[in-house]
Amino acid sequence: MAEMISYEPATGAELWRGIAGDVDGEVAAARAGWTDWARRTFEERAEILRRFADIVRTHDDSFADIIARETGKPLWEAKGEVDAVIGKVGISIAAYGERTAQRSMEGALGARNHVRHKPHGVLAVLGPYNFPAHLPNGHIVPALLAGNAIVFKPSEKTPASGAFLVDLFHEAGVPETVIRIVQGGRDEGKALAGHAGIDGLLFTGSAGAGAALSRQFADTPQRILALELGGNNPLVVWDTPDIAAAATIVVQSGYLSAGQRCTCGRRLIVRDGAEGPLLEEVGKILDRIIIGGPHDEPAPFMGPVIDNDAATQVLAAYDRLVANGAVVLRAMTRPDPAKPFLTPGLIDVTNVADLPDEEIFGPLVQLIRVPDFDAAITAANATRYGLAASVVTDDAALYDRFWAGVRAGVINWNRPTNGAPSNAPFGGVGISGNHRPSAFYAADYCAYPVTSVEAEEARATIGQGLLQS
């Protein structure tokens, strides 16, 4: 089996070493364990997962440290991710009760009609590297509550965080046969997704990978596929009197997590000729941004991107835009060629012909100037994606027009694009997903409804179409 090594992006130090997993063996183990788990009552499963939340809380510092070191994100951000892992349990229990509650109704001839839900069986979960605990956990917890078993493959870039998460589930009392881990890369992910022993796949990642999985699942409609994908998200700033607040929202939207959030604001859309004060305020904030390692003091606003390959890809995309006519307002640089730290970039792409509709997963914001608000909505919708969108304006009527006219699964007003509550559905349209929103609505794809017509005694009549006896 292939050896795997995880390095800290901020320092280059080795963090974790292991070997790629056995997909066949892990799926077989999960298949052997899931029926017993499914037969337990929901209350039993919920109690074990409440214990999991308590266990995570006792290990919160160690967990945050591993996440921060493996992703390069600031420690304060990693602590927030661990808090989200803890909070997901209570939210998922509430969501299960609301979204998949048992219902009973009066039926014909004294029968009763019941709606209940059953688990799918064994679900594969493929996790991303940007939130290596919170995002896969967002699939795993509701799937376990519903009675499924899990085979989890973390991103090959964050195996240590994934392993730590699974160990905490086991420590809390989730049987080892009920949640399994497969370490590995593209080959293991493809093998797991196509394995005959799984009943579905829950995936968070890029739109390209999601499209490949859709093709892979085309011949198996009996298996559930839930895709949570990326975005080329617009942020419109329009006639707002508080330029400082608007600039702060721009920076939070575009550069939080070094631009490695699927909801980051990629395209900044403004009224042509009125952008000067906003760009000046954004520049003042960018001048103050601290870029550094997870444990640096003072704490950084953003760390590196995940690795050197990612840094090279982001810079290459930036260079292509500049070569095609983008005007550099704030140059993106790589201070140390041996490490994946990038400085925030801001470019004006208004006059770039055939502007690529792509998710550049790093700290780059593209400015687009338009003549009026209708053109701003048109520009916002000029994408195959449809994950997040936000407008900054004091005019409620403009927000109403924006909400009605923009195609996205998350639409915010006077808030960053990357602000989405965990107690609400989360997902996009277009190539940002396959209409299976996660977060509070994850319960919908973790169990399937069963309708039953039930009567204590057999009673039946045929009223028409029979010869007289």
CA 104 to chain centre: 35
Catalytic residue, chosen from 8, 70, 156, 262, is: 262
Tell me if residue 469 falls in helix, strand or coil. Answer: coil
* CA–CA dist 307, 125 (Å, integer): 23
Detail the DSSP E strand segments found in 190-303: 200-204, 224-228, 233-237, 265-271
156 is catalytic: no
47: tokens are: 């109690």
**Which of 327, 263, 276 minimizes the C-alpha distance to 128?**
263
**Residue 131 parent element (H or E):** none
* CA–CA dist 46, 54 (Å, integer): 13
Backbone torsions φ then ψ of 347, nearest 5 degrees: -135, 150
Instruction: Report, in angstroms and rounded to the nearest whole number, the Rg of the chain calculated over CA atoms.
Output: 24
Task: Kindly give, in sequence order, each residue whose CB lies less than 8 Å from that of residue 80, ignoring residues fewer than 6 positions away.
Answer: none
262 is catalytic: yes
Pairing type for strands 345-348 and 327-330 reads: antiparallel
User: If DSSP states are collapsed to H, E and C, what string results for 62-105?
Assistant: HHHHHHHHHHCCCHHHHHHHHHHHHHHHHHHHHHHHHHCCCEEE
Task: Kindly give, in sequence order, each residue whose CB lies less than 8 Å from that of residue 420, ignoring residues fewer than 6 positions away.
Answer: 263, 388, 410, 426, 439
Catalytic residue, chosen from 228, 275, 281, 359, is: 228
* CA–CA dist 38, 178 (Å, integer): 10
Show which residues are catalytic: 228, 262
